[in-house]
Every structure is written in structure tokens, then in C-alpha cells.
Amino acid sequence: MEKKNVIVIGASAGGFEVLKRLFSGLDEGIAAAIFIVWHIPPDVFGILPQMLSKHSKMTIANALDNEPIIFNRVYVAPPDHHMMIERGRVRLVRGPKENRFRPAIDPLFRSAAYSYGSRVIGIILSGALDDGTAGLWAIKQFGGTSIVQDPQESEVPGMPESALRSVKVDFKITVREMIEVLQRLVTEPAKLNHEPGSQQREKTSTELKIAMMEEQIGKQPMGELTPYTCPECHGVLGAIKDGDLVRFRCHTGHAFSADTLLSILGDSIEGSVWNAIRGIEECIFLLNSVGDHYAVKNDPKNAGLYFKKAKEMESRAKYLRQAIRDNEQLTKRKIEEADSTI
């Protein structure tokens, strides 16, 4: 009988120390294949396998494309590659970024759910925003088990809180409790005959092909078309609904959660305002320079006109600087917390 022996883990900010604690406690003979996505920049050498190997006797290494999946082995997503799972093998691909990350958590979780169904245990650890929430939702749809680190223990609670808001998780626990739960779960039989609806399976299959760069050329975005544009390629974004969860994907394949898109738009607003300030201040420099020119030529009337206009522009720049001070970086958590205080 098949067991729950495929463990997928997603972590970001604050996740490094959590992963060390987790692997320090896990039985080195655990009968499972374990896959980890930890957000790292593309130009940073993947140090996670070496560091985790100091805390565990399991084989821990950056994954290789097409290598076989075996038990008692930990596969780590290397920099600048999505790590995905097909039946019996690992795949690495430089597909479209999701939530501005590559590797991203959602492609790993989604592919594990599609390939191994109820055998999958998905874990969300410390991190900001909400990468992994949509993937954990897919794991639940395919009959898998969901675990989220208790946000009160998380150094950065954004990812755990997002998962708890949007997914009916099986366990919200500390890392110490997680070790005990995992070692029990891998001995339990997986649910039999648990299949999602055909529409969910087809949608997941399409998204996996997009991540693997096998589909989507010349096609409309998935979901309902929106007025938003992709921050990566400026293509139109389609809205995809997973239960109560709404996320976005463009026709070239880039994907964003609502929180990530809000964060990017907030940064874009600030950048646009700074550009406006720069333009106004350059006008001020030029107006004052021309005014100085007229003053040197003993033409106080024209000099005064240019100096006056420069002063008017200075007041506009002050308003824009105030707008930047007042600009708020919005997230779902901030909005909902603000509502609860009204």
C-alpha cells in the first residue's frame, strides 16, 4: 500500500534557521523523498545543501534535471531554476517566474500534487507575502496533507498566515511538533481513489506545461482577462480562481498572487512619483539657471519671472515628496488588520 512519502517544503525569509532545526530533528532513515524550495537570488551560490548536511546524515544536494526520485534523499532547488516533480524523476527548468521568484514554491507543490496526489505532504515555513499558498491549495485538492508552521513561531509570518487564510490546513504546528508529525505521517497509508475534478486536473496540467515551457505560445492568458498588466513582460493578466483564492497569470506564463501584485504596484507607484520629482527638480534647476543668466545681464524683470516659476515648481515637488511619505505598501494582511480595528 502506498504511503505518504513525498514531502515538499517551501521557505523564504527566516526559513534558513527553521530548515536547520527541522533537519536536525528528523530521523535520518525517514522513508520519504524530500524536496525543498528556498527563495534565493539567481546569482547566489546554492549553499543550503552544504549547510543542512551539517545537521543531518541524509543525502542532501542540489537537484539535477531528470535524476530519479529515491527515498531518504533531500532534493534542493538550485538557484534560478524551478524544481518540479514528474512521476519517478525530478525536473529543472528556467520557466517563467512565479511571484517574481525562480525557484518558486508553487510550481513544486503543484507538480507534486499532480504526480503523486494523496502521497504528498506539503509544508509552508517562514517567509514574506504568499508564495506557496496556491500550491498548498492544489495539494489539498489532490488529496494530500498540508502543514503550516505556526505563525507565532515564524520569524517572518507572511507565508504561513497567507496559507492559513486561504487553505483548510491539516496541521498548524511548531517545528518541534512538525518533526514528530512527519515521522508519523510517512508511516501512514495514502488515501486511495482521491481524484480532483477534471476541470481542476486540466487547469493544473496546463500550468505545469507553462512552467515547463511546453505550452502557451500564442494563447490567451488563463482565467478571466483583467485590466492589469504583467510587471515582468507587460502582457495582459488573467485572473485564476482557486476556491476563494485569486491569482494572476499572463499569456507568456509569469504568475502572481494578489499580495505579490499589490507589492509590485506599490513599488511602481513610488518609482513613478520619484521620476516625477526628478523631472520637476530638473525643471527647477533649469529655470533658476535661466533666471541667473538674466540677472547677470541686468534684466531683473525676466530674471524674476523665471525665479517665480521655479518657486511654484518647488511647491509641487514638496507635494509629491509628501505623497511618497504617505504611500503605504499594501498587503492582504495589512488591509484585513486595519479593517478589524474599525
* For residue 100, pLDDT beyond 80: yes
pLDDT (mean) for 277-293? 95
For residues 322-342, average pLDDT = 70
Q: How many CB atoms lie within 10 A of CB 226?
A: 15
**Entry pTM:** 0.87
DSSP letters spanning 314-340? HHHHHHHHHHHHH-----HHHHHHHHH
In this predicted structure, what is the pLDDT of residue 215? 63
Compute the distance between CA of residue 111 and CA of residue 102 in angstroms, rounded to an integer.
15
Query: pLDDT tens digit string along 48-81?
Result: 999 999 999 999 999 999 999 999 999 999 999 9
Check pLDDT > 60 for residue 90. Answer: yes
Per-residue pLDDT at 338: 63
282 Cβ partners below 8 Å, 6+ apart? Answer: none
Of 20-29, 30-39, 195-204, the poorest mean pLDDT is in 195-204
271 pLDDT exceeds 80? yes
Give residue 270's pLDDT: 86
Tens of pLDDT, residue by residue over 24-35, are 999 999 999 999
Region of 160 on the Ramachandran plot (φ > 0 left; ψ -120 to 50 alpha; else beta): alpha
Length of the chain: 342
The set of catalytic residues is 12, 39, 131
Reported as a pLDDT band with limits 50, 70 and 90, residue 326 is: confident
Using CA atoms, how far apart are residues 67 and 79, in angstroms rounded to an integer? 17
**pLDDT mean over 234-248:** 94
Residue 136 has pLDDT above 90, yes or no: yes
| Strands (E) located in 185-317 | 224-229, 236-242, 245-250, 255-257
Q: Using CA atoms, how far apart are residues 5 and 23, in angstroms rounded to an integer?
A: 16
- Do the beta carbons of residue 123 and residue 178 sit within 8 Å? yes
On the question of pLDDT at 332 being above 70, the answer is no
